[in-house]
Homo-oligomer: A and B are copies of this chain.
Amino acid sequence: MPEIVDPNGFLPRYYQLANILRERITRGELAAHQPIPSERQLETIYSVSRTTIRQAIDLLVRQGFLYREHGRGTFVSPQKLQKGIWELTSFTEDMRRRSITPGQKILEIGEVKPPPEVRSHLELPADCERVLCVERLRLGDGVPMGLQTSYYLLPEGQTITREELEATGSIYILLQEKFHLIPTEADETLEVCLATPREANLLQIKAGSPLLLSERTTYSQARRVMEFVKILYRGDRYRYSAKLTR
């Protein structure tokens, strides 16, 4: 007795179907390397066309939950491949996925004159003199994990206050509620660097300890730059993971 894909639902059918299947996988109802029903079977089970079935499966394959073998079938990926999927996440979501309790301490929040590096990443016009800068210490299970500095170009006369950020805890929620900005895509680079005395002090490590530096430019719906973020992660407490395809 399968769940039903609602043709009048808010979400597209392929998306509903992907959610149903993902749910069954994460609940362990479908075990690793076990085949799911064939596309023609799913057609009759859920009363949607094969194209829609394939769209749902495509999504789950990209998300790492399923893999296909031509001529054999579609199978459930082993559990470990379902973690560390390469998706755009906030620090908070990232920590929650790792089963770590996220926290933060706001160090600075206010308007600043953008340094050239920020000006370039945010694609600022030459006459733009003020951007919002937020510097936060990011905590995992109460211990410093990283030092985050982010920059935003907000509509004229608008801003975000420390009180608002403390109340919601998430800048993404504020950006969505106040300015309808939703992150959809980002470019990220990762490199290694060494902690300056100030950074070391904030992160509670020794000066000169190795850090992982992430720089990210985030784009909103209409592909406008909405954010430039630098995060210095403690090298001893952070590891990146990703799934690569060909």
B-binding residues in A (CB < 8 A): 51, 67, 69, 75, 80-81, 84, 86-88, 183-194, 210-212, 216, 222-223, 235, 238-246
Interchain CB contact under 8 A, A185 and B86: no
Complex Cα distance A184/B139, Å? 37
Complex Cα distance A235/B195, Å? 14
Interchain CB contact under 8 A, B223 and A69: yes
Which chain B positions have C-beta within 8 A of A187? 80-81, 84, 241-244
Tell me whether chain A's interface is mostly helix, strand or loop, or mixed: strand
**A233 → chain B closest CB, angstroms:** 8
Can you spell out 25 A-B residue pairs with CB atoms less than 8 angstroms apart?
A67-B185, A67-B223, A81-B187, A86-B242, A86-B244, A88-B244, A88-B246, A183-B246, A184-B245, A184-B246, A186-B244, A188-B241, A188-B242, A189-B240, A190-B212, A190-B239, A190-B242, A191-B212, A191-B235, A192-B192, A192-B211, A193-B235, A194-B210, A216-B244, A242-B242
Which chain B positions have C-beta within 8 A of A243? 185-188
Interchain CB contact under 8 A, A88 and B245: yes
Which chain B positions have C-beta within 8 A of A210? 192-194, 210, 235
Which chain B positions have C-beta within 8 A of A51? 51
**A241 → chain B closest CB, angstroms:** 4
Complex Cα distance A212/B193, Å? 10
Which chain B positions have C-beta within 8 A of A223? 67, 69, 75
Interchain CB contact under 8 A, A87 and B244: yes
Complex: chain B residue closest to A188, CB-CB: B242
